[in-house]
Structure 1
Amino acid sequence: MRPFLCLIALLGLTACAEPKWAPQDQVDAARYVAGPPYYITLYTVVNKSTGSGAHSAILVNASERVIFDPAGTWYHPKLPERNDVHFGMNDKALAFYIDYHTRKTYDTIEQKIYVSPEVAELVLRRVENYGAVGKAMCTNATSSVLTGVPGFESLRHTFSPKKLSREFGKLPGVTTRVITDDDDDNNHGILLVQHDGTPLE
Structure 2
Amino acid sequence: MLVLASCAEVSTVGGDSSPEAVAAAAYRHPGPPAITLYTMINNRSGSGAHTSIMINGSQRVIFDPAGSVRLSAMPERGDVLYGVTPQVADFYERAHARETYHVRIQRIEVSAAVAEQALRLVMANGTVASARCAVTTSGILRQLPGFESLPQTWFPNQLADGFATLPGVKERRLYEEDADDKAVAIAAYQQQLAAGQ
State the Cα distance separating 1:19 from its structure 2 match. 8.7
The alpha-carbon distance between structure 1 residues 145 and 178, as it changes in their structure 2 partners (threshold 3 A), is: same
Give 2:82's aligned residue. 87
2:183 — aligned with what? 188
Q: Which has the larger radius of gyration?
A: 1
Match of 1:47 in 2: 42
Look up the SS of the partner of 1:199 in the other structure.
helix
Letter in 2 for 1:177: R
Q: 1:72 aligns with which of 55, 67, 70?
A: 67
Q: Which residue of 2 aligns with 1:125?
A: 120
The answer to whether the Cα contact below 8 Å between 1:20 and 1:132 also exists between their aligned partners in 2 is no
SS of structure 2 residue aligned to 1:198: helix
- Give the residue type in structure 1 aligned to 2:173: V
Question: Cα–Cα, structure 1 residues 36 and 95, in superposed 2: closer, same or farther, change >3 Å?
Answer: closer
> Is 1:199 matched up with 2:193?
yes
TM-superposition CA deviations, 1:90-111 (whole Å, max 9, x none): 0111111111110011010000
Q: Taking every aligned residue pair, what percent have the same amino acid on both sides?
A: 38
Unpaired runs of 5+ residues, structure 1, are: none
User: How many angstroms does 1:18 deviate by?
Assistant: 8.0
> Distance between the aligned counterparts of 1:181 and 1:73, measured in 2?
19
Query: In the aligned structure 1, how far is the partner of 2:131 from the partner of 2:69?
Result: 15
Aligned residue identity for 1:157: Q
Aligned to 1:24: 19
1:109 to 2:96 alignment: no
Question: In structure 1, what is the equivalent of residue 137 of structure 2?
Answer: 142
1:70-104 alpha-carbon deviations (Å, 9 max, x no partner) = 00111002211101000000011111111111001
TM-score normalised to structure 1 length? 0.87
Specify the SS of the correspondent of 1:136.
coil
1:154 maps to which residue? Answer: 149
Deviation at 1:123, TM superposition (A): 0.3
- Counterpart Cα distance in 1 of 2:132 and 2:157: 14
Give 2:34's aligned amino acid. Y
User: Please, what TM-score do these two structures have when normalized by structure 2?
Assistant: 0.89
Contact 2:55-2:62 at 8 Å conserved across structures: yes
Structure 2 match to 1:59: 54
- 68-77 or 27-36, which deviates more: 27-36
Task: In structure 2, give the amino acid aligned to 1:96.
Answer: F
Give how far 1:189 is off: 3.0
Deviations 1:160-190 (A, max 9, x none): 0000000000000000001000101023232
The CA RMSD measured in Å over matched residues stands at: 2.5
| Inter-partner Cα distance in structure 1 for 2:85 and 2:13 | 25
Residue ranges of structure 2 left out of the alignment (5+ in a row): none
Aligned length: 191
